Structure 1
Amino acid sequence: MTHTRILTGITTTGTPHLGNYVGAIRPAIEASQDSAMETFYFLADFHALIKARDPRVVEQSRLEIAATWLALGLDTNRSTFYRQSDIPEIPELAWLLSCVCAKGLMNRAHAYKAAVADNEEGGSADPDRGITMGLYGYPVLMAADILMFNANRVPVGRDQVQHIEMARDIAGRFNHLYKGQYFTLPEAVIDERVQLLNGLDGRKMSKSYDNTIPLFVSEKKLLKLIRKIKTNSLEPGEPKETEGDTLFQIYQAFADTAETEAMRQRYAEGIGWGDAKNQLFELVNEQLTAPRERYYSLLDDPGHIEQILQQGAEKAREEAAKTLDRLRSAVGLGRFI
């Protein structure tokens, strides 16, 4: 049976929040339960070093994100779950890809262009001021993550589509230069059903805006944060619109169809904001109570998490080693005998 390979990386630079869960973690875990899919999920801790300068932040984030995925039910017997930094074949592949990647392609990367634009707008005489090779070469490392395992599909947000296109360009260039089908050309997957949740202030939920609701805060803290969600000044009894409303959007992300329609009717009937926030809390908290308990139990046993990640790395390296042996031979770096 031919499986479709799906690969997703999770950058270890912060604490997972509701938006991460709805937009990436939940659909990824659902995909891992599909027998037609072969799933690779990894902690992108090399990528984290591009922005994170505090080693304690990276270390804690790696632990929290690994615990989050496991607490939410990722079956590591069905998926390959590993840390990027545990697979030394990946940076080696990144070098092989760098040697066929055109500099002009990197010049067009959105993140690099944005950093240059910030310098120019700030009046810097050096457009590359403060820009590291990590930021500049980020798309090549991402391509290595994907191409190492010849992933067919890579779920990403719209802001990451360019990186998948660059991975395809680099893979195609390598295949052409070395006259073989060494790499599968990956496809970006954007699930239109998955919404980007808004945060406390109505903007996209993001740690950059400091408007997130962390996934596994205590019940008391969860209720406090939900009560801080920005709403308009309509009084109880006044009909309210669901379109563009953050409370309703988050409710819908956790509710089934019947619950969503019932809440939509309550909005039309003029539910008070306090009541709406309490109902949102009850819904979200009910779904997160059991995973929350598992999460904190896992954090108390980092050795267990480490064991799972090492087992995942062993599976990943077994395949990566075979891929890299073939690539070394292709470029002339194979063994003499």
Structure 2
Amino acid sequence: MTKTRVLTGITTTGTPHLGNYVGAIRPAIEASRDPQVESYYFLADFHSLIKCHEPDRIAESRREIASTWLALGLDTDNAVFYRQSDIPEIPELTWLLTCVAAKGLMNRAHAYKASVQENLDAGNKDTDAGINMGLYSYPILMAADILMFNAKKVPVGRDQTQHIEMARDIGQRFNHIFGEEFFVMPEAVVDERVSVLAGLDGRKMSKSYNNTIPLFEPEKKFKKLINKIKTNSLEPGEPKETEDCTLFQIYSAFSTDSDVAKMRERYAAGIGWGEMKGELFELLNEQLKGPREEYQRLLADPAYVEGVLQKGAEKARALATPTLDRLRAAVGLGRFI
């Protein structure tokens, strides 16, 4: 049986929060248990350097993210779990792809165009002010991440589909120039069912809005954050709408269908916001208590986490090394004998 190879990268610039868990981590861990799927999950730490020049923050984020995925039950016997920076073949392939990628293609990248527009809106005569080459060319690094392992499926948010299209363009260009099907063309997988959680202020939960609820905060602080979630002024006993309610949305993401239906009835009956926040805290705390303890244990044992990542890198390089040897030979950089 041929397995479908799926690849997902996690940028290492922040602390995992409830939105990350529901939108990416939980479905990825569930998918990794599918016997028909070959999962590659990596810490995209090269990507983090594009916008973050704080070494301590990146180092801490790498530890937190690796420990989070392991604490939540990622089976590293089935999934290949590694750091991008532990695979030296990745930056080398990035250069090979850079030498065939069209500059015009990079000009059309959404992130680059958005940064140029910000300069225009600010009246800056230099439309490239503050834009480094990492931001400009990172779609090529992303293409290398994907094409190195010939991943067939790449789960992404809808705003990331352009990067998969670019990876296809660059891979096809390389195949055409060097006359062989070196790369499988990846397909973006956008799951519209995946929840996008709202944060403390009702906007999308995001570290850029400073409205997140970190996944493994200590219990007391976690409860305080739940209590800070924005609500309206309706009193206990007054019927409440579930639509656009952050509390109900988060509750639904962690509950069974039957419990969600019961909670919907309690909203109609006028559940108080304080009571609802208490219910939500108890629900989340019960589900996260065990993983939180394991997370703290893993943070205190960096040698173990390092060992897991090194084993993952060995698995990844077992594929990447011969692939790059073949690509080197294709472009004329092979060994003499």
Question: Post-superposition shift, 1:244?
Answer: 1.0
Aligned to 2:260: 260
Question: Post-superposition shift, 1:317?
Answer: 0.7
Distance 1:250 1:319 in 2: 40
Q: Deviations over 1:126-181 (max 9, x none)?
A: 11111100000110000000000000111111111111110011111111111111
1:15-34 to 2 correspondence within 5 Å? 15-34=15-34
Aligned to 1:148: 148
1:15-94 to 2 correspondence within 5 Å? 15-94=15-94
Amino acid at match of 1:6: V
Aligned to 1:214: 214
Question: Post-superposition shift, 1:54?
Answer: 0.8
**Structure 1 residue ranges without an equivalent (≥5):** none
Distance 2:253 2:329 in 1: 49
Aligned to 1:108: 108
Distance 2:190 2:249 in 1: 19
Q: Does 1:318 align with 2:318?
A: yes
Amino acid at match of 1:211: N
Aligned to 1:285: 285
SS of residue matched to 1:137: helix
Paired-residue identity, %: 71
Aligned to 1:125: 125
Q: Deviations over 1:77-106 (max 9, x none)?
A: 111000000000000000111111000000
Aligned to 1:227: 227
Aligned to 1:300: 300
Question: Post-superposition shift, 1:333?
Answer: 1.1
Distance 2:266 2:326 in 1: 61
Q: Deviations over 1:100-137 (max 9, x none)?
A: 10000000000000111111111111111111000001
Aligned to 1:179: 179
TM-score by length of 1: 0.99
Q: Does 1:269 align with 2:254?
A: no
Aligned to 1:193: 193
Distance 2:62 2:257 in 1: 35
Amino acid at match of 1:47: H
Count of aligned residue pairs for this structure pair: 337
Distance 1:125 1:90 in 2: 36
Amino acid at match of 1:264: R
SS of residue matched to 2:64: helix
Question: Post-superposition shift, 1:15?
Answer: 0.3
Q: Which range moves more in the overlay, 98-107 or 168-177?
A: 168-177
- 4+ runs deviating over 2 angstroms: none
Distance 1:145 1:288 in 2: 31
Q: Deviations over 1:211-247 (max 9, x none)?
A: 0000000111111001110111111111111111111
User: Aligned-pair RMSD on alpha carbons?
Assistant: 0.7
Amino acid at match of 2:55: P
Distance 2:286 2:252 in 1: 15
Distance 2:247 2:303 in 1: 38
Distance 1:48 1:332 in 2: 32
SS of residue matched to 1:251: helix
Aligned to 1:240: 240
SS of residue matched to 2:41: strand
Aligned to 1:137: 137
Q: Deviations over 1:19-71 (max 9, x none)?
A: 00000000000000000000000000000000111100000000000000000
Distance 1:171 1:219 in 2: 47
Distance 1:61 1:230 in 2: 27
Distance 1:23 1:140 in 2: 25
Q: Which range moves more in the overlay, 86-95 or 116-125?
A: 116-125
Amino acid at match of 1:82: Y
Amino acid at match of 1:149: F
